[in-house]
Amino acid sequence: MDKEVEEVLLLGKDSIIQLALKKIERAGLPTEEGVSIENFTQIKVLTDGKEVWVSFSNPIKYLPQKTVFYFDVGIGLLEGIISKNRVSNPEDYDEKTISFYKETKETEINIQFVFEAINKSGEIGSIDIANFEDNMIIREYENYYDISIVSESQESSYKIEKTSGKIYDSDHAHLVPPPNMGNEDKYELKEINWD
């Protein structure tokens, strides 16, 4: 592990997260009320021994009609790299100013409805909202929610009727793992365990 990486890690998780948030603000990414840890449901500090990455993410991405948000952002603290994920509804919708996602009471209720519909259906399998780590996009339309879920091994899409919670237009595909290139230990980012 590089000496510079070790020095950054000595600051501790909370200080590293605050450094990353300041880099986001200094980069001039548009924020209505500034960006904070409240914009994200998962925050991880990772390293490959040469760089310290802070990953801010929202595995569950909820989009009302005609919206676009940054849901995930990664910051390389030493090199100053910022990688962001923009998601819109509809998929080709565009805005000049894109804000960071912030869950509201209404979106929380709608997300809960979607998870309850999935868990009641028996068709999809149950999902634990508290421990969800895959990537789910919920796009709201007038009469239904359009759902897309990507996990390590499967991609699923379906619609959920807003009033009944009925699932329809269900489609699932198993994903092929990436080929083993013989260098699986090189440059692998590992989450820092602060315990």
Predicted local distance difference test score (pLDDT) of residue 33: 64
Q: How far apart are CA 146 and CA 30, in angstroms?
A: 27
The single-letter DSSP state of residue 151 is: -
In this predicted structure, what is the pLDDT of residue 82? 93
Q: What values do phi and psi take at 160, rounded to 5?
A: -125, 120
77 token code pair:
């603290």
pTM of the model: 0.86
Q: What's the confidence (pLDDT) of residue 122?
A: 74
Average pLDDT per 10 consecutive residues for the chain, totaling 195 residues: 92 94 82 78 94 95 94 94 91 85 93 92 77 91 95 89 93 78 65 82
**125 phi-psi bin (left φ>0, alpha ψ -120 to 50, beta other):** left
Separation between Cα atoms, residue 72 and residue 83, nearest integer Å: 8
User: Do residues 144 and 161 lie in contact, with contact meaning Cβ atoms separated by under 8 Å?
Assistant: yes
Tally Cβ neighbours within 10 Å of residue 5.
17
What is the b/e burial string over 107-121, where b = at least 16 CB atoms within 10 angstroms of the residue's CB?
A: beebbeebbebbeeb
- Per-residue model confidence (pLDDT) at position 61: 96
pLDDT value of position 36: 85
Domain interval for residue 59: 3-191
Q: What is the DSSP letter of 179?
A: P
pLDDT computed for residue 121 by the predictor? 82
Strands 144-150 and 154-161: antiparallel
